[in-house]
């Protein structure tokens, strides 16, 4: 396991991320018990923001500001904060906000730690070296550190291996844009007969952790943002998964994640079903 540019071991940053994410999850849990207030929308009328989304991110930023004042922060609900330490935190205060609104127990706080990397797989100059995802409703804590494996509740995680395509359980998600959803649905029709089944659970971060835990055999979704997947892809990768961004049929990046062994088979099926486009994608 490595160290951040300021000398902090990645494992220490993971542990710090776990503590901060658990505090934010506690806030979200308490707020859900009181009631949910939708305060605004983003990309469409069904892409909602709640007061708790903002409160959760504000808490994370406050804690990090006191514990790591020289670090940068990128979050879903507020403007980026530049840092000077060479460490950047990526915050999703509630991944799965619609589930949170409806009381469906599948929403999470996601927190990733990144360091500069000119060869970043995302092409943005940053690489995730520690990540934490907390299922708020159940209290499950997923953690990973680069080179140190992934775990849930302290128990090491490993993907399912040697699963034939026809026996793969695939997780996915859909865009908030109606036309893009139509294209995704058409592609889904092409994939569904080839696999065991498809589930739409509602939280990208938890879907990626499900792949890591062997509770799913692949995850694909077009249009996820950095905060949706930054922590989850590290958890999955450290558990034995492979992931990449492909050009999606709707014009945005398609995230595909599956166990490394047998990855090419599910990738070929996803491409053949029509989830990808020939033109370059945009994040």
Distances (CA, A) of 133 to 45, 70, 95, 168: 27, 23, 9, 24
Residue 95 marked in a binding site: yes
Residue 228 marked in a binding site: yes
> What is the dihedral sign for C-alpha 55, 57, 59, 62?
negative
Residue 94 marked in a binding site: yes
Residue 48 marked in a binding site: no
Closest CA to 198 of 179, 217, 214: 217
Residue 62 marked in a binding site: no
Q: Which helix (H) or strand (E) holds 151?
A: strand 149-152
Calpha distance 153→155 (Å, rounded): 6
Residue pair 236/216 in contact (Cβ under 8 Å)? The answer is no
Would you state the torsion angle of the CA atoms of residues 241, 113, 110, 144, taken in this order, to the nearest 10 degrees?
40
Residue pair 277/283 in contact (Cβ under 8 Å)? The answer is no
Binding residues for Mg(2+): 76, 92, 94-95, 228
Binding residues: 76, 92, 94-95, 228
């Amino acid at each position: 396991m490595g160290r951040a540019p300021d000398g902090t071991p990645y494992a220490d940053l993971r542990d710090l991320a776990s503590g901060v994410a658990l505090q934010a999850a506690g806030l979200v849990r308490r707020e859900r018990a009181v009631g949910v207030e939708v305060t605004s929308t983003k990309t469409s009328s069904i892409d909602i923001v709640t007061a708790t989304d903002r409160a959760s991110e504000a808490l994370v930023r406050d804690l990090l500001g006191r514990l790591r004042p020289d670090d940068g922060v990128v979050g879903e609900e507020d403007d980026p904060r530049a840092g000077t330490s060479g460490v950047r935190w990526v915050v999703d205060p509630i991944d799965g906000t619609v589930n949170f609104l409806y009381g469906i127990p599948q929403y999470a706080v996601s927190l990733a730690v990144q360091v500069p990397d000119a060869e970043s797989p995302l092409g943005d100059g940053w690489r995730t070296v520690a990540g934490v995802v907390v299922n708020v409703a159940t209290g499950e804590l997923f953690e990973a550190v680069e080179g140190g494996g992934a775990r849930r509740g302290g128990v090491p995680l490993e993907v399912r291996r040697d699963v034939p395509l026809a026996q793969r359980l695939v997780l996915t998600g859909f865009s908030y844009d109606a036309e893009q959803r139509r294209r995704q649905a058409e592609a889904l029709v092409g994939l569904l007969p080839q696999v065991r089944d498809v589930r739409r659970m509602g939280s990208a971060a938890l879907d990626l952790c499900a792949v890591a835990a062997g509770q799913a055999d692949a995850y694909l979704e077009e249009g996820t943002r950095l905060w949706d997947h930054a922590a989850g892809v590290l958890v999955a990768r450290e558990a034995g998964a492979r992931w990449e961004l492909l050009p999606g049929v709707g014009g945005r990046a398609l995230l595909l994640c599956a166990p490394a062994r047998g990855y090419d088979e599910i990738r070929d099926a996803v491409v053949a079903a029509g989830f990808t486009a020939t033109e370059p994608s945009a994040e």
